[in-house]
Structure 1
Amino acid sequence: MKPDRVGETKKNSHEHLQYLLDGHEQILEHIKELNHWWRELDERGLPKYGEMGTRMEGLRDLLSKHFHDEEQEGYFKPVMDESPGFCIMVPDFREKHKKFLTQIGDFSTRLKQSEPPFQNWNEALTELQGLLDELRISENEEIQHVREAYEKSSSDHSS
């Protein structure tokens, strides 16, 4: 009976890692959509600070849920089971998560002010691009760690 239980744990761990990867892909897709939206506005020369603020709040909400799920022991546990060295990275992710949510919240608030504190639309876009680039890099790093654990889980699972 015991080998079945181990196999079941591996299977659950594997599914959990797939869930983790799906969450990261969803965030990267959201970032891509935001980039596309603001590029179109930029080409037309139509600044929409308030709408950008609302869209950034949407991204912040998505990230907040994703980060919350990720930081629960159950979310990272399968990764740690597969790659014990990964646990060293978790506090770093938590700090990054907090920083991103604060930065995006602050940016959204400034965008939604009746007189946004930007010299022009381009300044707002530059800040947005910086935030999204930083977020994309961080998400890709996390995806890489999860993929490594996932692949290890897959090869262990099949043997």
Structure 2
Amino acid sequence: MLFSHWKQEHSSLQRELDAFRDWTSNVAEQQTPEFIESASRLRQIRDRLVDHFVREDQIGRELRSHYPKGSVEVEASYRQACQDHEELLSELDDLAGRLDQVEPPFESWPDAVHEVTLFIDRFEEHEESEAEHILWLAPREDTAV
């Protein structure tokens, strides 16, 4: 049940990231940089990520409960997820902070969009890896949709 909710939440979050990516493309076509608006939108996404990472932490703890004697794989996956979450949030905070500056430290709007795209790609890689670990480690009945 928790895994199913996570998958739905992940899909919703992915749609939000895709919408943000589309918005940055539209802004690029208009050739009017929107640094401050980008920072604001990224902070909204950050709030969603925090909630999502809390849910992933719950899944990690639930997985650990299925292995009362411990599991090296579950523990390693859990530690890696926690580290990734901290790094992703820190990276997002830094990016939003730089976008929000009076004079953003980017060579151009396309450079800023490129950095945002790199962040989104890193987040997507994290989610794919985490989903693979969850599917592999979770008892079968927990991963059914």
TM-score w.r.t. the length of structure 1 is: 0.77
2:140 equivalent in structure 1: 152
In 2, the alpha carbon distance for the partners of 1:129 and 1:62 equals 18
Match of 2:97 in 1: 109
Contact 2:77 2:133 in 1 (8 A): no
Uncovered stretches (5+) of structure 1, i.e. residues with no partner:
1-14
Q: Please provide the CA RMSD for this pair.
A: 2.3
- Distance of 1:79 and 1:39 partners within structure 2: 39
- For residue 23 of structure 1, what is the aligned residue in structure 2? 9
- Which of 108, 117, 121 aligns to 1:129? It is 117
Of stretches 107-116 and 26-35 in structure 1, the one that deviates more from structure 2 is 26-35
Secondary structure, in 3 states, of the residue corresponding to 2:103?
A: coil
Higher Rg: 1
The whole-number CA distance in structure 2 between the counterparts of 1:124 and 1:142 is: 27
Which has more helix, going by share of residues? 1
1:93 and 1:154 map into 2 onto residues whose CA distance is 19
Alpha-carbon offset, residue 123 of structure 1: 1.0
Partners of 1:69 and 1:128 in 2: CA distance:
24
Once residues 74 and 11 of structure 2 are traced to their aligned partners in structure 1, the CA distance between those partners, rounded to angstroms, is: 20
Match of 1:141?
A: 129
| Closer, same or farther: CA 25–145 of 1 in aligned 2, 3 Å | farther
In structure 2, stretches of 5+ residues that fail to align are: none
Question: Which residue of 53, 56, 78 maps to 2:62?
Answer: 78
Name the SS for the 1:89 alignment partner. Answer: helix
Whether 1:36 and 2:22 are equivalent positions in the alignment is yes
Per-residue displacement from partner, 1:15-47 (whole Å, max 9, x unpaired)?
111112222222222211111111111122121
Give the alignment's TM-score, normalised by structure 2. Answer: 0.84
- In the TM superposition, residue 154 of structure 1 has moved relative to its aligned partner by 6.0
Between stretches 145-154 and 109-118, larger displacement belongs to: 145-154
Aligned pairs, number:
140
CA distance in 2, matches of 1:149, 1:135: 21
